[in-house]
Amino acid sequence: MEKILDRFLRYVAVDTQSDPQSESQPSAAKELDLLRILRDELLAMGVEASLDEYGYVMASIPSNCGKDVPAIGFIAHVDTSPDASGCGIKPQIIENYDGSEIPLKGVDGLSLKVSDFPELLNYKGQTIITTDGTTLLGADDKAGVAEIMDAVQYIVSHPEFRHGPIKIGFTPDEEIGRGVVKFDVSKFGADYAYTMDGGAVGELEYENFNAAAADVHIQGRNIHPGYAKGKMLNAILIGMELNDLLPREQRPELTCGYEGFYHIISFNGTVEEATFSYIIRDHDMELYEQKKAFMEKCVAQINEKYGEGVATVKIKHQYYNMRKVVEPHIHIVEKAQRAMEMEGIVPDVKPIRGGTDGANLSYMGLPCPNIFAGGHNFHGKMEFVPLESMEKASRVILNILKLFAE
């Protein structure tokens, strides 16, 4: 049986970065490289599995418990974030971590410091996998992929393990908000499911942000600077002025818990024209709608000052808070809590300050809370995951299946 560490290292070696500029499904053909590997590994283990044209791997393991119990699904995404390179990942493996600073080899002076990341001390004595400082690691969500595959390997190798119907799903493009756009819930066949896409050990989430993307376009007027007085409209400066109209205290670096935010994620422009891209987030639906309306109000204010059409905004909804549709099935959250307690884990039930495929799946008729995958500092060079956290997540999957089969 392959160890979960070796499996994880194989998966992160495959570049699967999704592409937000692409209109295809999946957004990047290279995502299919890992999806094919996963399909073939499932087939090699004797599991019925398929890969469709949209990049969805779906697999099924029949019940062996002799009872009429719900079909339970486990889902993870294979793509990595566009926020940092996912190519040529060279993980560092720190065994028996002693609580000290972890230098990252790729960049002089870059390191994981306890002063910056005090949660490192929770993993003293464990094996920590980090980046080398030049790429992200890909624990989001290849840790989840490895955990599910590790659990499948255990199940097929231990026929005495009793369980109901099991459904396995691997998806592309979660990081760009399109992970389950064409996911066929009825074909998948699960009654309930869990995404293995959370953070630290114990995390369990059935609430997430309501989410939208906003692209603000500023049309300036470029005049020779020597003759610009009263004529030039500098699109860069006008965009900065609009950004300053947004409440400073509602930036992600100044918020936590249930607090929402406006987050500028990119800027591209010249004096003539500029684009400012934002994401808008809030757990509360009313506050979410207010944030979108306020963004439009800021655009109107700019136009009132500089002229109609100088600023335009396109706001695109991305996903809703899944609490509304999961809470009527709260027993699936309680099962996950009990499954963690069986491993000596204290469940940490809290809202996701982000989103998962499970949010959209829940609104598509498949209630789908989110369980920890074990990683920290996703989407950047400081990402790391403890090996023991992945091992615990795999056992939690098995415990959930046991509880449903009882």
Residues catalogued as catalytic: 79, 174
> Do residues 11 and 142 touch, judged by C-beta distance below 8 A?
yes
For 404, left (φ over 0), alpha (ψ -120 to 50), or beta?
alpha
Spatial separation of the C-alpha atoms in residues 382 and 104, rounded to whole Å:
8
Using CA atoms, how far residue 378 sits from 35, 142, 258, 349, in Å, is 21, 11, 20, 19
> Do residues 147 and 38 touch, judged by C-beta distance below 8 A?
no
> Do residues 174 and 146 touch, judged by C-beta distance below 8 A?
no
Instruction: Enumerate residues 6+ apart whose C-beta is below 8 A from 131.
Output: 89, 90, 91, 92, 104, 106, 137, 381, 382, 383, 384
> Do residues 25 and 178 touch, judged by C-beta distance below 8 A?
yes
Q: Which residues pair with 213 in a beta bridge?
A: 279, 316
Identify residue 200 by its one-letter amino acid code. Answer: A
Spatial separation of the C-alpha atoms in residues 384 and 377, rounded to whole Å:
7
- Using the Cα atoms of residue 329, residue 60, residue 45 and residue 52 in order, give the sign of their dihedral: negative
Closest CA to 133 of 377, 387, 401: 377
Helices (H), 24-114: 31-44
Using CA atoms, how far residue 185 sits from 27, 215, 367, 391, in Å, is 20, 31, 11, 28
Q: Which two tokens stand for residue 82?
A: 């566009």
Spatial separation of the C-alpha atoms in residues 359 and 208, rounded to whole Å:
7
